[in-house]
Amino acid sequence: MAQSESVGKIINRLNPRVALRLVPIESDGDRILDHPLARFGGKGLFTRNVEMALLDGKEADIAVHSLKDLPTDETPALRIVAIPSRAPVHDVLISREAQRIEDLPQGATVGTCSPRRRAQVLRLRPDLNIVNLRGNVETRLRKVLEEKTVDATLLAAAGLMRLGLVEHTRKPIPLDEVLPACGQGALAIQCRLDDHITMRRCAPLNDVATSEAVSCERHLAAALGADCHSPLAVLAENATAGNHQVRLRARVLSLDGKTCLEIDMTGPVGRSKVICAEAAAELIRQGARELLAAAAKEAAAGED
């Protein structure tokens, strides 16, 4: 809702004669709070209902998604027409006392339903106890800071900032420790493919550098057969001030964090697709697809 409102204000500023109305839609991912999402075919659980409203053409003309929730294969008749400038990509530690993951007490309980976060935390601290923690941002903050149900959790800095909860972003987790999800920090503005007027109105919101970076990440995820509920962490970013070089980092992990396949490649921006293909091939050679398949089977069985 906060993301949609912010995008709506920009569109309205560019098109002052266009009236905008915010349409709240609850996703399947919001409703399923007591089971691992992988059991329900996690792909698109946070975007499917929004896309259906868009396709219907009666409820909505524009959809605003967190790009990390959007499946890599685009829905027929819909198109991502703009990806605005990316917010910070890192995760932050939410805890009552610890400033860093390494500061958490031995055997501390960390709440998260993200296989990516779970695997990377256990890679750093195999002694920690990982439990499911679902709900919106405010709920997860309350579970840690007030109810003390768990000792800590990890949240995206971008989401906290968009909600005006900047005070909770003071414990950033270094990217060397926890890489972000594919598309983290980026928004996707989606329209119907046949609605040329709305597409034209939204197109100016696109940020080329962000669009190129997340496109690289999504191509890698697609090549590996991963989705937003896979233990895949990936980040493409400018490696130089002049935006001439792109750096692509990725990790594919087992859910227990004991196995971690990594790549770190840098090359000219003009060869980003080639770099992405080479990175995918190297991870596949190392066994990434088999590792992701095993993780999906384990998560669907509810072993996490």
Rounded CA-CA distance 212/221 in Å is 14
**DSSP letter for each residue of 215-277:** HHHHHHHHHHT--TTSSEEEEEEESSTTS-EEEEEEEEE-TTSS-EEEEEEEEEGGGHHHHHH
Q: Position of tokens 């932050």?
A: 92
CA dihedral over 301, 129, 151, 186, signed as positive or negative: negative
> How many Cα atoms sit within 13 Å of 95 on the Cβ side?
22
Q: Edge-to-edge strand order for the sheet containing 232-238?
A: 232-238, 245-253, 260-268
Rounded CA-CA distance 112/143 in Å is 11
Q: How many of the other CB atoms lie within 10 Å of CB of 45?
A: 22
Rounded CA-CA distance 242/87 in Å is 19
Phi, psi of 168 (to 5 degrees): -95, 10
Q: Is 69 among the residues known to form the active site?
A: yes
The Cα-based distances of 6 to 163, 180, 299 in angstroms read 10, 23, 34
From the list 69, 91, 195, 304, the catalytic residue is 69
- Residue 227 token pair: 């989705």
Compute the radius of gyration of the chain from its Cα atoms.
19
Question: Which residue numbers are catalytic?
Answer: 69
